[in-house]
Amino acid sequence: MDDILIKAENISKVYRLPAEVIRAVRDVDLEIRAGEFIAIMGPSGSGKTTLLDILGCLDRISSGKLGILGRDVSRLKESSLVGIRRGNMGFVFQDFLLIPTLTALENVELPLLFARLPSGRRKAIGLLQKVGLGHRMGHLPKQLSGGERQRVAIARALVTSPKILFADEPTGNLDTKSGDQVFHILKGLNQKDGLTIVLTTHNNKLGSQAGRVVYLKDGSVVPREESSLYA
């Protein structure tokens, strides 16, 4: 069906280190449809970040088949994956990753430069207003709270109009209240704008608010009751 944005078939990721072989993701099957809000949950080291990076084309699979928007990307080189990411995906990380010397507004505008898209000052302003930071646009990251920085990062991720937003532990570095605010913004983007969101979290309270939870254990998708989160 054409509303399937991502189709992962039996995908695995293996890291071969000198002393050991780590199976970070094992035989995962997953379909993600337009408009879904998916939380990937599991204990530390269960493969959440690796799986998210694979789905977001930031990392490559060792085996299996990965389709993004109907295109088989399983064997594409990094140079081709860049184009797929730029056109379709936005990313938010636990550590915000804002440029410290640029204002909030400049940080949000930056991806448009990289994507060689026309300047989007008005769009960037609109997005900052949308995440509740219309009054902080000229601030540098160090002049913002953690929650505000993450909201700038969300606006930055959206400025290229991605079809899918990936967020790796977006509330992991935030206090409960700021984390709730950030999660509320993500939920609003999903529910009001229909944005497809895939995030990782080990916060049960937040994860349970997602439309669907994918539980990982030792790199495999497991039923909720087998995930050690609920053991």
Buried b (16+ CB within 10 A) or exposed e, 195-228: bbbbbbbbbeebbebbeebbbbbebbbeeeeebe
Handedness of CA 52, 57, 63, 65 (dihedral sign): positive
Residue indicated by tokens 């449809």: 33
- Residue by residue, DSSP assigns 36-76 as -EEEEE-STTSSHHHHHHHHTTSS--SEEEEEETTEE-TT-
- What's the rounded Cα separation, in Å, for the pair 200 and 166? 8
- How many chain residues are in contact with Mg ion, going by CB under 5 A? 2
Amino acid identity for residue 216 in this structure: L
Quick one: tokens of 74?
């399983």
Stretch that binds ligand ADP, among 45-53, 89-97, 115-123, 140-148 (CB under 6 A): 45-53
Single out the residue of 15, 78, 101, 184 in contact with ligand ADP (rule: CB under 6 A): 15
Single out the residue of 1, 20, 44, 142 in contact with ligand ADP (rule: CB under 6 A): 44
Interaction between residue 45 and ligand ADP (CB under 6 A): yes
Interaction between residue 49 and Mg ion (CB under 5 A): yes
Stretch that binds Mg ion, among 16-24, 42-50, 97-105, 142-150 (CB under 5 A): 42-50
Interaction between residue 48 and ligand ADP (CB under 6 A): yes
Contact 96, 152 (CB under 8 A): yes
Handedness of CA 160, 97, 167, 203 (dihedral sign): negative
Q: What is the number of alpha carbons within 13 Å of residue 87 lying toward its C-beta?
A: 7
**Residue 42 binds what, of Mg ion, ligand ADP, none (CB under 5 to 8 Å, by partner type)?**
ligand ADP
Nearer to ligand ADP, 44 or 79 (CB): 44
Nearer to Mg ion, 47 or 120 (CB): 47
- Output the smallest distance, CB 64 to Mg ion, in A: 20
- Output the smallest distance, CB 15 to Mg ion, in A: 14
Interaction between residue 157 and ligand ADP (CB under 6 A): no
- Output the smallest distance, CB 188 to ligand ADP, in A: 26
Provide the binding-site residues for Mg ion, judged by CB under 5 A: 48-49
Provide the binding-site residues for ligand ADP, judged by CB under 6 A: 15, 17, 22, 24, 42, 44-50
